[in-house]
Every structure is written in C-alpha cells, then in structure tokens.
Amino acid sequence: MARYIFKRILIGIPILFFVVTAVFFAFRLIPGDAARIIAGDEAPQERVEQIRRDLGLDRPALVQYGAYLAKLSRGDLGVSFSSRRPVAVEIASRFWNTFSLALAAITLATIVGISMGVVSALFRGTIADHVVTLIALLGISIPVFWLGLLMMQLFSVELGWLPAAGYGTWRHFVMPTITLSVFSIAFITRMTRSSLLETIQQDYVRTARAKGVRERLVLLMHSLRNALLPVTIVVGLRFGYMVGGAVITEEVFAWPGLGRLLILSVAQRDIPLVQGLLLVFATSFVIVNLLVDILYAFLDPRIRHR
Amino acid sequence: MNLRSPLRTIGTFARDHKLAALGAVLVAAFVFTGIFAPQLAPKDPNRVSVRHSLAPPSAEFPLGADNNGRDILSRIIHGARVSLYISTTSVGLAALVGVSLGIFAAWYRWTRGPIMRLMDVLLAFPGIVIALTIIAILGRGLENVILAIAIYQIPQFARLAHGLALSAQEQTYVEAAIAGGESDGAILSRYVLPNIIAPIIVQISLLVPGAIMTAAGLSFIGLGVAPPTAEWGAMLQLSLTWGRLAPHMTIFPGLALMLVVFGFNVLGDGLRDALDPRLQGRS
Amino acid sequence: MKRTSRISAVGVLGALLVTATIIGAAFGQGEPVYGGSLSIAYTSTSPHIDIQATNQGSLSESAHYIYETLFDRNAEGDIVGLLATGFEISDDGLTYTFSLQSGVTFHDGTPFDAEAVKYNFERKISLQLPTWDSIPWDSIEVVDPLTVRVHLTAPAPHIVPVLSSKTWSMYSPTWAEAVGPDGVKSDGVGTGPFTVVDFRPNDTLRLARYEDYWQDGLPYLDEVVFRVITDANTRAALLESGDVDLALGLPVPVTERLKNDPRFNVQSALGARQYYMPLNNTKAPTNDVLVRQAINHAVDKEGIIRAVFLGVGAEVADAVYMTPVVDGYVPAGTYEYDPERAEELLEQAGWTMGPDGVRVKDGERMVLTLFTRRGSVTGDFETAELVQGMLADVGVEVDMQVLESASFVPAVTVPPEDSTYHMANLTWGTVTGDAEYVVSTIYRSDAAAPRLYNRAYYSNPEVDRLSDLSRQAATIEERNAIYAEIIPIVFADAPILQLFNSIEFLAANARVHGLYFEPAFSNWPGKYAWKTP
C-alpha cells in the first residue's frame, strides 16, 4: 500500500511541474503589465520602470524562471506582485473560505444525493422515482449562476431572509452551499440510483433474497455497500473539483475564496499568485484522488486482499 | 435498407424514451433557432434605444428590453446562434484532437506515457479554471473561448478513445489485418475507428451541454465573447445590476440556457441507452 | 523689501475658491454617541496604502482616516486649514509661509512640526511622487517649530489646493525613515483620527481610534473596518443585509431604491470626475476635427444618463475634463445630440455612406477601435455599448474591445505612434480640485501620454502658449482669467468625446450619523461619524 501511495505521489510531481512551467511562460508572452497595474492609471512612466526593476521583471525570462524554480524547490511560492505579501500567506488566508464552502457543499450533496438515489432505486418505476429522476436532470441542467441569481432575488431581495453575499455566519453559507452543490447532488443521485440498480441485479443478492430475508432489508444490507463504491469515487472527485471549481459560485455571492482570488490575480497579471493558485488547485486534486484511491481500496475487499 | 427502417427506429426510440424525445425536440428547436436566427429575430439584437431602457414585456418587446433598450427576445435568439456555434465547434475540435491522441497512444505504445501524462495535467483542473486561465492568456473573443473550452475537453475524448482503441486492437479482425500487412492508417480508419465511433458520439452529446454552460459561465464572469454580441451568459451578467428593476432580464436568458442544456442532457441519456448498451446504467 | 500680511487661511481660501455644490447635509441628527465599529464596503483594489505614491481616488477614501494634510475641504467644498492654521503669501507670489497646528502627534508619538512638513515635502520631491512637479519648488525652510516657509521659482497660487489633495498627506518622519519606501505600503503612521491595526490588500483595512488625536472629543468610533468588495452589486447586498454600515460606488438602480427605504440614508453630490473618451488626435480618421465634432453630436448624452444613470447619476459635461466643482472652471458648451448634424459633418469630412451602412472614404470603411474596461467605474461598459449603438446610427462602426485593467492601462499609456485606439473609455478626476491640474497634465501637448495623461494626444500651440502665460500669474483670479480663454478653445477642438460629470453617491445605514460627503475628493470625514447602537 505504501509503495502504491508513493507511486501515486510521484505521478503528481510532473503534473505540478508542467503547470508551473506552462503558466510561467504563457503569462510572459501576453500583453499586460503588472508594474503598470501596481503603479496605477495616473502614475508617471519613471515610477512604472522603478516598480518593474523592484519586481525583477526587467531580467530575462529564463533567469526569472530559474529563480522561481529554485525558490519553489525550497517550498517558497514567492511574493505576490500586487500585495507584496508571500503567496503562501495570500492563499492561506483564503483557503479555509473555499475549503469550508466545498466541504459544506459536498456534505450536502452526499447526504441529499445518496438519499434521493436510494429512494429512486428502491421505488423504481413509481412516481417517487420519476420525480427524483426529473429533479436530478434539472439539477445537472440548471446554470449555477442563474440559480444563484434567482435565489438571491427571492431570499435576499424579496423576503430578506438571507444575506445576499459575503462570508461570515452560517446564514451566509446557505445559498452558496446550495448553489455549489446542486450539480453534485444531481450527479450523485444519478450515480447512486444506477449503481444500486446494477448491484441489485447481481447474483449474490438474488441468492440472499431466495433465503427469504425481507426484501428491502436485503437491498440495504447487501447492495448499498457495494453500490456505494463507485459513488465514493464520484464524491471524492467532485470534492477535488470544488476547491477550484467554485469560481462562479464565489463570483455570484462575492465569496472571498480562492476562485475570486484567481479571477482578480489573473486580471492584475499577478503571475506568482496565479501560479500559486493553480498549484494549489492541482495539488488538492491530486491529494483527493489519492485519498479516494486509498478509501476505495479500503472499502473494496477485492482490492484490499490483493 | 429501406427508408422506413430508420424512421421506425426513431419512432421506437421516441416511444421508449419519452423524455429523450422531448430533449430531441428542444435540441432541434435550439439548432433551428441558431441556424435561422437572423430570419427569426424580430429586431436587430444590437440596436440600442435609450427610450426603451428596461421596458417590460409588451407587444413590441415580447420578452421586454434590457438596460440599453435592446430586444431581449432577439438577443436570446441570436444568443442561440452563438451558443450553437461555440459548443459544436469546441466539442468537435476537442473530439478530433482527443480521439486522434487517444488512438495514437493506443497504437504507438511509446507515445502513451507522454500523451496520457499531458491529459492527467488537464484533468487535474476544473474546466472553468482551465478555460479562465487560457482566456486570460489569449484574451477575450469567440475563437479563444472555443479554444479554451476545447482544450479542457480533450482529455475526456483522449481517455475514452484510448480505452476503446486498446480493446478494439485485441479483436481478431484487427489482429488479422495486422498479420495481413495492412498499413497502420488503413487499419485505424477501417477497423478501429468504426468500432469506437458510437461511444464517441454519445460522449459528444454528453459534452455539448457542458460546453454551452461553460461558455455562458465565462461570459458571466466577463471573459466571454466580445460585446455587443448577444450571449446568454453576458445577458445574465447585466442582470446582476439591472435584474432587480427588470426581472425579465434575469428570467428569460437563464430559462433559455436551462432548457437547451436540459434538452441535451435527456437526449444524451437516451442516446447512450440506445446506441451504447455497454454503458447502460452508468452515469 | 518684502511685505507680508497674515490672514486666516479659512477667510482667504473661502474667497479664493468657487464653492462646491453639496446636495443634502450631514447624515442624521442628535447627540453623538461614543464607541462602536463602522464597516465600509468600497472598491479599492489598491495593493498598498501608500497615499503619497498615488493620486487615485479609491485610496484617498481610506487615507484620510489615517493621514492628514495641511489643508482640507469642508462640507461646502471650501478649502480650510487642517494641520495648517494659516498662511501668508509674499507680494511677488514666490514665498508661502505656513503656520502649523500645535499639539499634534503622529501615531508613533513623533511630534508634528515644521521639520515633519519639510521632511514630507522633500520625500515627495525626491521620490518624484504624484503632483510633486506641479509646484515650482525652490527651497523649504523651517522658520520655527510651528512655521514652515516654501520658496518657489515661479508663482503658484494653486499650491494650497494641491497641498489639500490626499497625496500630500503627512507621514511620521521617524516611521517613514525607519521602514523605508516599501514599509510605508502595508502600514500607516499619520496624525489622523484612526491608527492602522491590520491591512490585507484586496481584503480589509482595520483601523482603531487614535486616543491622542489632537481634535478634542474626536473621533467617536472605536473601530473602522474597510472591506474591499470589487463587485458593486455585492456592496449593495452587504449594505442591505446590514453586514456593512456604509457603501460607496453603488449602481444607480440601488441608490434609487435605497432612497425610499427608511433603513438607509443616501447622499449625492456632483463630483470632480468626468466620463470621457479621448479621440485619438494623431490617428485617422479621428485626427480630423470635423469627425471628432460629428462623434460628439452623434452621441445622446442625456439618453445615456437616463438609461445608465436613471437620470440622476450624472450631468452632461459642459467643459472638457472639468466639472463645476473645479476651481477655474468656466462652462464652454455642449455638443447637442443632433444625428443629422453629425451626418452633415461626416459628409463634409468626405465620409459618404457605404452600401453596408458604414461610411467610406477613399475605399476605407469607417471603423473606430474603442478600448473599454468593465466595472472599473459605475456604468462604464453600459455607456460604451450605447456609444457604439449611437455611432452605428450615423454610419460609424465601433470595434469595441473589453480589456482587463492589466491590459487596458498599458494599451492607453503609450506614445502616439504606438497607439492602437481611436477611442478609449475613461474617467478623469481633478484630484486637486483645481484647474491647474487639468491644464498642466492633460490639456498641454507636452502632457501627451505616456509622460502624462493627455491620451487624446491633443495639441494646439495656442493652448500651450496661454498655459505658459498662466504660469506667470501670481493670483488665482489672474490665472483663472487666462484659463477662461483656454477652455473654450479646447472645447471647439473637440479632442475628446465629452460625456458627463458623475454624481457621487454615499449610502449608509440609518444608524450612522454625523458624516458629510465632500465630493471633490470623495471625502467623508470619519472622525465626525457616530453610530447609534
């Protein structure tokens, strides 16, 4: 197992290296001037040149790249162009905001998604199944930003129940959590339903049923555990994506998270910060993938005993 | 094969998959609207008129006017054209590149490592993050949006095609063809490709709604096509400011977007069940 | 022989300056209450709080809580003394003697005195920080601890308005020396009513009451928290939900709604900021004055104000770059919305209507490139879209390019030969509240970008000559008389698409009292603010 984990980590490193290199050079090919942004609209040209020298942007790209890699190998993500604070600090100050939102959303999605999926599979063909199926279809079809706008209009503007935006109390979490989770709820529902139906058809379940145990209990006892294996993967992958994929939800609700930081740092050509953020997104994805694999191995006896 | 057979097939499909048939109707309406937008739109979608700013739905403006007095119905119709164009070209491009890469990696084993590692890199990010970064680098504009969406969808096709091509190669007729000394190109195009095409088509139908949504999302965060192009996401972005005074600016473009994506999703489900029994029951 | 007369700053300045228009008085009434925390949602994306290094409005909004200047503006827009109690001018206009407020200390305990003023002036000059060169410095002399004298090489009657702008804030010399030019970016030590507790760029600026503030009894609040919320709709939402007490730069639909809501107070006033689009005077076809005038006639300014600003968020501009609150302003006129006149002018310039509805001349279609940002100020994008639509009506195609600030600013800050735009969507703020800033940094041909802000690359030798002449004027009146000649000339040359002057809004929770809004600087002195529990 340890060897397997080690191998997985080794696979992750070239991914991260590629990301760093691609972003570094891509942002140097394009128009846009970090020094000018920092200096401001009305700053004199000399001031801009001064800032450019301060940031080391006047050195050749390869020299800058080498310096960046050297620092990165020591775990130093560099300093944000715009705030002059360490990139690690900038990211850390926002990481929890995004992480907590993603955690809330994936929890909601897992509970609601699995429940709906189980109901749908157990009562296959009934009206309950059709309703759940339709809800799930709408869930993967509704544009998240539109859902966010509609909820904001209803619950904040018309009814005044929930704050329209920002980060703070649990009330701030309600709408962003629903918005971020709605696609995952639908996805997990569909996954649970089909996986459960597939498992029910399998032989050992039929055998158990033949022994005369009450049918629904059999389903829950025998099928759910096996059926939830693929669901585990889906939940894990969705969570891995949520850390970076909350961009639009964060934008709608002005959530002070990593996604908004990415939009802002891209706009400000804050290359160290963009690189740092993309590294964090890629790393969290790689880690979640790894955890999912381990969990999967742990849950699935066929893999565990191998 | 007579003419009635495919018609009957479609008829059977529609009977067995009522929801999918509804999806097909929605998709057909979307495609039709997109193609004939200039003929269908009652007004010039970009014609501003400060006198009609925020006008509510009326006979003159069936779905109302936006903050610059532009006809929302005409903008939604033209928006369909933009969405159709972006989604088909980007997914088509992604399919072309992705399937080629996938087959290549399966056929020439030494290319497998580099190609699949590259795909791993792309898969490590949510699509919107990749698209956003690419647009930030290349700039806004229709072509760049298409490229940005295509790039993040390439791995979906590459992985699928790679797996399918690998199993196709193990088929006896392919082995026979190799033994018969047929060229690589001939084998790939005559034996491998036709055998993997059905799941690829299903994959295309499943990725188009995602492309439509991402394009709208990019416009919503201000990184989409250039103004004044009528685009659904861009229309919704305006409604962030003006929607409270004119709810029609929020409701209609979002509804159009949802209906189209819904149509593709249910059609895709139906197609998957009908065309690709191996994937049945999977999500 | 030198003759000086000692006069109270308030009296003289009141007479010198045109009174700014103030709509609405201070918020709330009653006996001030001490304590409490005020949270403010604003737009600044400035990565630093180094106010001496910038003259951007968004930073000055928070700077005056931490720092103070020698002069300030009151609720009527008049210049009054703040850290200076008065000043004398020599007869030749070359020597200014400022007397300073006694008993003032910086947050670090350093006393505020003539040495501190000298240090700050010299800091601005040696680092060449914004507007340092608008004053013809000769030398700075410490007369006694509370008197500082400035010797000039030419008369500069605008020195007082310049020194009242926030970029001339006083830093603690001890602190500024100790931390160096980078250290002043992330912290602040001034004489203002609040001290810096914590500054997180693009996030929050947390301030606490300065217990030893020199104005007795002020400030009332214990804490002030600035929150950077870049999205205007979110700022509105936070204000409405009670998460913040005060919000700036709200969309007009929101302020209009809040006006009718008893839970909120809204103040508005004409500011010193003008929406405009430079028309590239060095690039065909906008190098033709007829074309530039035609563009001005083709755009319905009133219509845009109705659609984008709901008729209340702006007023049609009647002078190039200058709004009525600027000292030295004279109305020059507006280009009436008259599409027929615009078409006539274009015909006269040789541009005839082509088959596709776009005008042509010598086989060339009339396509103008317009650079714009989105959301950098209220309604910028909406305005650009309407201008595009209105120009299409007279046969001018506009290729609109929406750029991020990171690309936009460099693209419009280039020498004329490198410029790729015909039009750019900008606003101009006269940060000193004085016309000298306009004439010297945007009218003159030697102010052409990238050196300064003349992004239309406008050049008229007569304007340059008159501007040189105005620099000999010893008094504001004499100088303004010359400006009154310059302003109509610039108007007739139509260097820009002259749009409208913005009306600034300040919206607050009804529990907030005591604030007044000074629009020339977007100033709302927090030291007077108090909050009912």
Q: For C230-248, what is each residue's pLDDT tens digit? A: 777 778 878 887 889 998 8
Arithmetic mean of pLDDT, C463-488 = 93
Arithmetic mean of pLDDT, C275-285 = 95
Q: Whole-angstrom Cα distance, residue A119 to residue A192?
A: 10
Strands C496-509 and C246-248: antiparallel
Mean pLDDT of the residues in chain C = 87
**Is the pLDDT reported for residue B263 higher than 90?**
yes
Instruction: Say which residues have a Cβ less than 8 Å from residue C55's Cβ, sequence separation at least 6.
Output: A42, C130, C131, C165, C166, C167, C431
How many DSSP H helices and E strands does chain B contain? 12, 0
More confident call, C91 vs B174: C91
What is C270-503's CATH topology?
Answer: Dipeptide-binding Protein; domain 3 (3.10.105)
Q: Whole-angstrom Cα distance, residue A48 to residue C43?
A: 22
Q: What is the pLDDT of residue C122?
A: 95
What residues of A are in contact with residue B129 (Cβ under 8 Å)? 244-245, 247, 259, 262, 278, 281
Q: pLDDT class for C20, splitting at 50, 70, 90? A: very low
> C533 preceded by cis ω (within 30°)?
no
For chain A, give the percent of residues with pLDDT over 70: 83
Q: Which residues of B touch A (CB under 8 A)?
A: 19, 117-118, 120-121, 124-129, 132-133, 136-139, 209, 213, 216-217, 220-221, 233, 236, 239-240, 243-244, 247, 250, 254, 257-258, 261-262, 265-266, 269, 281-283
- Average the pLDDT over each of A96-100, B174-178, B213-217, C105-109 and give the range with the smallest value: B174-178
**All domains of chain A in start order, with CATH:** 87-305 (1.10.3720.10)
- Average the pLDDT over each of A37-51, A58-72, B250-264, C164-178 and give the range with the smallest value: A37-51
Q: What is the pLDDT of residue C136?
A: 93
**Is the pLDDT reported for residue A110 higher than 50?**
yes
State the span(s) of chain C assigned CATH 3.10.105.10. 270-503
Q: pLDDT class for A176, splitting at 50, 70, 90? A: very high
Q: What is the pLDDT of residue C368?
A: 96
Kindly report the number of other CB atoms within 10 A of residue C362's CB atom: 6
Q: For A207-246, what is each residue's pLDDT tens digit? A: 555 555 566 566 566 677 777 777 887 888 788 778 777 8
Q: What is the pLDDT of residue A73?
A: 82
Mean pLDDT of the residues in chain A = 80
Enter the tokens of residue A229. 């294996």
> C285 preceded by cis ω (within 30°)?
yes
| Contact criterion met (CB < 8 Å) for A286 and B124 | yes
| Contact criterion met (CB < 8 Å) for A149 and B233 | no
Q: Is B35 exposed, middle or buried (0-12, 13-18, 19+ CB in 10 A)?
A: middle
**Is the pLDDT reported for residue C5 higher than 60?**
no
Arithmetic mean of pLDDT, B129-148 = 85
Comparing C-alpha atoms, which of C120, C70, C130, C125 is closest to residue C99? C70
Q: What is the pLDDT of residue C15?
A: 32
Answer yes or no: are the C-beta atoms of C464 and C445 closer than 8 Å.
yes
Question: Chains that contact B by 3+ CB pairs under 8 Å?
Answer: A, C
What residues of A are in contact with residue B121 (Cβ under 8 Å)? 15, 18-19, 282
More confident call, C74 vs B21: B21
**Is the pLDDT reported for residue C77 higher than 80?**
no
Q: Whole-angstrom Cα distance, residue C186 to residue C206?
A: 12
Cα–Cα–Cα angle for B122, B126, B130, rounded to 5 degrees = 60
Q: Whole-angstrom Cα distance, residue B61 to residue B267?
A: 32
Tokens 């010359």, residue located: C482
- C235 to chain A: closest CA residue: A165
What residues of C are in contact with residue B239 (Cβ under 8 Å)? none
Of A33, A46, A84, the CB nearest to C410: A33
Q: What is the pLDDT of residue B1?
A: 42
Q: For C491-512, what is each residue's pLDDT tens digit? A: 999 999 999 998 888 899 999 9
Enter the tokens of residue C34. 């001490």
Q: Whole-angstrom Cα distance, residue B64 to residue B58?
A: 6
Report for A91-105, B173-187, B233-247: range of highest mean pLDDT: A91-105
**Is the pLDDT reported for residue B283 higher than 70?**
no
Q: What is the pLDDT of residue C9?
A: 37
For chain C, give the percent of residues with pLDDT over 70: 92
Q: What is the pLDDT of residue B70?
A: 93
Of B68, B240, B244, the CB nearest to C389: B68
Q: For C421-448, what is each residue's pLDDT tens digit? A: 999 999 998 888 889 999 999 999 999 9
Q: What is the pLDDT of residue C67?
A: 94
| Contact criterion met (CB < 8 Å) for B69 and C307 | yes
> pTM of the predicted model, to two decimals?
0.80
Arithmetic mean of pLDDT, A2-9 = 71
Q: CATH homologous superfamily for C3-245+511-531?
A: Periplasmic binding protein-like II (3.40.190.10)
More confident call, C408 vs C207: C207
What residues of A are in contact with residue C453 (Cβ under 8 Å)? 42
Answer yes or no: are the C-beta atoms of C183 and C163 closer than 8 Å.
no
Q: Whole-angstrom Cα distance, residue C229 to residue C248?
A: 10
In angstroms, the Cα distances linking A135 to B32, B269, C1 are: 27, 15, 92
Distance from CA of B173 to the nearest CA of A (A): 32
**Is the pLDDT reported for residue C12 higher than 50?**
no
Q: What is the pLDDT of residue C140?
A: 96
| Contact criterion met (CB < 8 Å) for B124 and A15 | yes
Q: For C35-71, what is each residue's pLDDT tens digit? A: 999 999 887 666 678 889 887 666 667 888 999 999 9
Answer yes or no: are the C-beta atoms of C382 and C307 closer than 8 Å.
yes
Distance from CA of A217 to the nearest CA of B (A): 23
Answer yes or no: are the C-beta atoms of B129 and A262 closer than 8 Å.
yes
Q: Whole-angstrom Cα distance, residue C528 to residue C113?
A: 25
Of C45, C233, C409, the CB nearest to A36: C409
What residues of A are in contact with residue C203 (Cβ under 8 Å)? 93, 256
Q: Whole-angstrom Cα distance, residue C294 to residue C299?
A: 9
Q: What is the pLDDT of residue C16?
A: 35
**All domains of chain B in start order, with CATH:** 17-37+64-279 (1.10.3720.10)
More confident call, A40 vs B265: B265
Q: What is the pLDDT of residue B89?
A: 96
- A153 to chain C: closest CA residue: C237
Arithmetic mean of pLDDT, A15-34 = 74
- Average the pLDDT over each of A34-38, B41-45, B212-216, C212-216 and give the range with the smallest value: A34-38
What DSSP state is assigned to residue A202? S
| Contact criterion met (CB < 8 Å) for B48 and C254 | no
Q: Where are the alpha helices (DSSP H) in chain A?
A: 2-29, 34-39, 45-55, 61-73, 87-122, 127-141, 144-151, 170-200, 203-210, 215-218, 224-245, 247-252, 258-267, 271-299, 301-304
What residues of A are in contact with residue C408 (Cβ under 8 Å)? none
In angstroms, the Cα distances linking C518 to C23, C73, C190, C249 are: 10, 7, 21, 14
Query: Mind spelling out the 3-state secondary structure of C372-436?
Result: ECCCCCCCHHHHHHHHHHHHHHCCCEEEEEECCHHHHHHHCCCCHHHCCCCEECEEEECCCCEHH
What residues of A are in contact with residue B216 (Cβ under 8 Å)? 143, 145
**Is the pLDDT reported for residue A113 higher than 80?**
yes
Q: pLDDT class for A204, splitting at 50, 70, 90? A: low
**Is the pLDDT reported for residue B97 higher than 80?**
yes
State the span(s) of chain C assigned CATH 3.40.190.10. 3-245+511-531
| Contact criterion met (CB < 8 Å) for C382 and B46 | no
| Contact criterion met (CB < 8 Å) for C307 and B50 | yes
- Average the pLDDT over each of A22-31, A257-266, B264-273, C301-310 and give the range with the smallest value: A22-31
Length of chain B: 283
Q: Whole-angstrom Cα distance, residue B236 to residue A252?
A: 11
Q: What is the pLDDT of residue B280?
A: 44
Q: For C317-368, what is each residue's pLDDT tens digit? A: 999 999 998 889 999 999 999 999 999 999 999 999 999 999 999 999 999 9
For residue A180, the SS3 value is helix
In angstroms, the Cα distances linking B199 to A188, B275, B283 are: 22, 8, 13
Q: What is the pLDDT of residue A288?
A: 82
| Contact criterion met (CB < 8 Å) for B283 and A187 | yes
| Contact criterion met (CB < 8 Å) for B209 and A150 | no
Q: What is the pLDDT of residue B61?
A: 92
CA A17 to chain centre: 20
C339 in contact with chain B, both atoms CB, cutoff 8 A: no
Q: What is the pLDDT of residue A206?
A: 60
